[in-house]
Amino acid sequence: MFKKVIIHTKKSIKFIVLFIISTFLIVGAIAFLYKPTYSVYMNGEQVGYTENKAELQHKINDYIESGEEENGNIAFVQVEELPEYRLCLLKKDITTNDDKIYEKIKEQGITYYRYYAIADNEEEKQYVATFEEAEQVINGLKEKNSSNIEKISIIEKYEENMQELATQEEAISKLYVEPAKTKVTVAQTKTTGSVNTSLTTSGGKANIGLTLIRPISGVITSRFGVRSSLRKSSHTGLDIAASTGTPIAAAASGTVTFSGRKGSYGNMIVITHSNGVQTYYGHCSQLYVSAGTQVSQGQTIASVGSTGNSTGPHLHLEVRVNGVAYNPQNYVY
Statement: the pTM of the whole predicted model exceeds 0.75: no
pLDDT higher for 321 or 304? Answer: 304
pLDDT (0 to 100) of residue 228: 59
* Residue 25 CA neighbour count, 13 Å, CB half: 6
In this structure, what are the phi and psi dihedrals at residue 315, rounded to the nearest 5 degrees? -105, 130
Rg (CA), the chain: 29
**In the predicted model, what is the mean pLDDT of residues 324-329?**
87
Angle at 263 between CA 261 and CA 265, to 5 degrees: 75
Task: Using alpha carbons, select from 193, 295, 203 the residue that is nearest to residue 248.
Answer: 295
| Burial label, 77 (beta-carbon count in 10 A; 0-12, 13-18, 19+) | buried
Q: Mind listing the pLDDT tens digit for each residue in 79-131? A: 878 889 999 888 877 788 999 999 998 888 888 888 888 989 888 999 998 88
Taking every pair of Cα atoms in the chain, the longest distance, rounded to a whole number of angstroms, is 127
Q: Mind listing the pLDDT tens digit for each residue in 58-92? A: 898 888 878 887 777 887 888 878 889 999 888 87
Local confidence band at 154 (pLDDT 50, 70, 90 cut-offs): confident
User: Does the structural domain 219-330 have CATH classification 3.40.50.300?
Assistant: no
- On average, the pLDDT of the chain sits at 81
- If you average pLDDT over each of 196-200, 204-208, 270-274, which comes out highest? 270-274
Domain residue ranges in the chain: 219-330
Of 28-42, 55-69, 122-136, the poorest mean pLDDT is in 28-42
Task: Using alpha carbons, select from 312, 258, 303 the residue that is nearest to residue 284.
Answer: 303
Tell whether the model's pLDDT for residue 184 goes beyond 50.
no
- If you average pLDDT over each of 135-149, 190-204, 246-260, which comes out highest? 246-260
Helices (runs of H) and strands (runs of E) counted in the chain: 5, 18
Angle at 306 between CA 300 and CA 307, to 5 degrees: 95
| Burial label, 23 (beta-carbon count in 10 A; 0-12, 13-18, 19+) | exposed
